[in-house]
Amino acid sequence: MITFETHPDRYRHWKLAFDGSVATLSMDVREDAGLKPDYKLKLNSYDLGVDIELADAIQRIRFEHPEVHAVVVTSLKERIFCAGANIMMLRESTHGWKVNFCKFTNETRLAIEDASDHSGIRFLAALNGICAGGGYELALACDEIYLVDDGNSAVSLPEAPLLGVLPGTGGLTRVVDKRRVRRDLADFFSTLVEGIKGKRAVEWNLVDKVFPTSQFKDAVAKRARELATRSDRPGQGPGIALNPLNPTVTENEIKYSAVTLTLHRDKRTADLTIQAPTGAQPSTPHEIFAAGDQFWALRAFRELDDALLRLRVNEPEVGTIVVRTEGDREAVLAIDRTLAAHQNDWLVREIVLFMKRTLKRFDLTARTFFAFIEPGSAFAGSLFELALAADRSYMLHDDNEENVIALSPMNGGPLTMSNGLTRLQTRFLGKEDHVDEVLAHEGPFNAAEADEAGLVTFAPDEIDWDDEVRVAVEARAAFSPDAMTGLEANLRFAGPETMETKIFGRLTAWQNWIFQRPNAVGDKGALKVYGQQGRPEFDWKRT
């Protein structure tokens, strides 16, 4: 079973060092410490385990080190920055593993950009040696890229010519859409195994600057200090510690403090339940800081994030998830109001951004989600985002009309999807008036009101409820899992596309196709044959 929690004390592949406002995150992959013993992580190549540490490091810098305003991403290996995803690992992996691996690495790189765009942490990739494939894609996620000019070190995306697959972590998209490398130059670059170095790399905007070896370290340090001056983060720590989640894991359940994931493997379904906060809750930034990682909003969403990641990787056959909430709706709304009122506080901002990223992880999880809204539930404000993110929501229209949902300011802006819109804006695409109207609604919505306002999919009455929701889940769980993945990936992201949605839509979908093709993964496919004797044999038909 793969788990996603780690801590710098236990990192095997990265070193995290702090010097005032600048942190340095150095890759130093241990060859023999891959997640599986089948491959050696040579030349700073990586597998999911390496990327889990990277994701953890970025998260901790955000929460535990508010004094950090710039991060240098570099390598401790001589003349090697990073050789990208480990090819032997990819070759031996199932299709599903490859897809989930790429999804997680993509989310991690987008989290770097999120920290830069919204948290005031700038990233400088200091490429002290060869930087290939996923290594360059990591650099592309940083704000600036410095490359050593030693006559040897180049940036490259050799996946297509060498392995017959695409660079799978946003490289093609970022090259043309973020760095705005001309598409014809990008075409040439992406088919050039040896990559591009020196002055040409700068001219084509593949990197920002190159420096001779003798000047490289100083130039990086100087630039990192400059980047660090542009932040609105606090000048000093401390931050808050992100302690272990310590879920109770049994055969069929992962139970956290506020989140429970119960698996029904025989039915290929699961129940995911989130508890509203209980007891007194912080209402000022000071109190939130004092509560630290035990503050419900952070704790519950960290648990949800962890549950989603475990589900994706460890339970591939569990395809249909019923989402429920329980507890005090008013307590959720009170926390939402606190969060909305104090978004200028660095920690509140980080918590809200974390909630946003977790909900995006939900959007991007290739499982069906149905929200069941029943009496006693707490689908209010930020928790109602789960119902909006679900593929459908079923709300019991109870005779007493006590079953309600509610909105908060958190539904009106901070928790945007990858497409740049809120879930309400995406739901009511082009109907901004209606979005404003539901947000202005006073008090909760009962089932009839929620149905009328289009906030839930269906509102069966007590007579129909049991049958309707049972049949819905059973029917869903019986459909082709691939068709459901494709369906959801198309319907969930109405409206504008962004670089982020392009990476998960266009790029990922093409990569998944290629990962399925005999030209890559057949016995004579390029990915299979690489590093072994013989050359790939292709079916030459273009499609």
Stretch 132-171 residues interacting with a second copy (CB under 8 A):
159-161, 163-166
Residue numbers 270-299 binding a second copy by CB under 8 A = none
475-503 residues labelled b (16+ CB within 10 A) or e (exposed): ebbeeebeebbeebbeebbeeeebbbbbb
CB 329 within 8 A of CB 444: yes
Which of the ranges 49-57, 113-121, 401-409, 482-490 carries the binding residues for a second copy, by CB under 8 A?
482-490
Supply the minimum distance, in Å, between the C-beta of residue 406 and a second copy: 19
Nearer to a second copy, 10 or 540 (CB): 540
3-state secondary structure of 523: coil
517 near a second copy (CB under 8 A): yes
Residue numbers 185-214 binding a second copy by CB under 8 A = 185-188, 190-191
Residue numbers 448-467 binding a second copy by CB under 8 A = 454, 457-458
Q: Say which residues have a Cβ less than 8 Å from residue 494's Cβ, sequence separation at least 6.
A: 419, 426, 429
118-145 residues labelled b (16+ CB within 10 A) or e (exposed): ebbbbbbbbbbbbbbbbbbbbbbbbbbb
Which of 488, 469, 467, 490 has its CA nearest to residue 479? 488
96 near a second copy (CB under 8 A): yes
116 near a second copy (CB under 8 A): no
If residue 424 lies in a helix (H) or strand (E), which one and from where to where? Answer: helix 423-427
Nearer to a second copy, 42 or 535 (CB): 535
Nearer to a second copy, 523 or 540 (CB): 540
Supply the minimum distance, in Å, between the C-beta of residue 299 and a second copy: 28
473 near a second copy (CB under 8 A): no
Which of the ranges 121-129, 140-148, 174-182, 224-232 carries the binding residues for a second copy, by CB under 8 A?
174-182
3-state secondary structure of 116: helix
Supply the minimum distance, in Å, between the C-beta of residue 57 and a second copy: 28
CB 63 within 8 A of CB 55: no
Residue numbers 239-268 binding a second copy by CB under 8 A = 268
428 near a second copy (CB under 8 A): yes
Q: How many CB atoms lie within 10 A of CB 437?
A: 12
Nearer to a second copy, 184 or 442 (CB): 184
Which of the ranges 16-24, 40-48, 377-385, 388-396 carries the binding residues for a second copy, by CB under 8 A?
388-396
Which residue among 319, 327, 412, 414 contacts a second copy (CB under 8 A)?
Answer: 319
Which DSSP category does 422 fall into?
-
410-434 residues labelled b (16+ CB within 10 A) or e (exposed): bbbebbbbbbebbbbbbbbeeeeee
Q: Say which residues have a Cβ less than 8 Å from residue 227's Cβ, sequence separation at least 6.
A: 69, 70, 122, 124, 143, 144
Supply the minimum distance, in Å, between the C-beta of residue 417 and a second copy: 11
Nearer to a second copy, 532 or 540 (CB): 540
Separation between Cα atoms, residue 45 and residue 135, nearest integer Å:
8
Supply the minimum distance, in Å, between the C-beta of residue 202 and a second copy: 15
360 near a second copy (CB under 8 A): no
217 near a second copy (CB under 8 A): no
411 near a second copy (CB under 8 A): no
Q: Say which residues have a Cβ less than 8 Å from residue 225's Cβ, sequence separation at least 6.
A: 21, 22, 70
485 near a second copy (CB under 8 A): yes
54 near a second copy (CB under 8 A): no
Nearer to a second copy, 28 or 451 (CB): 451
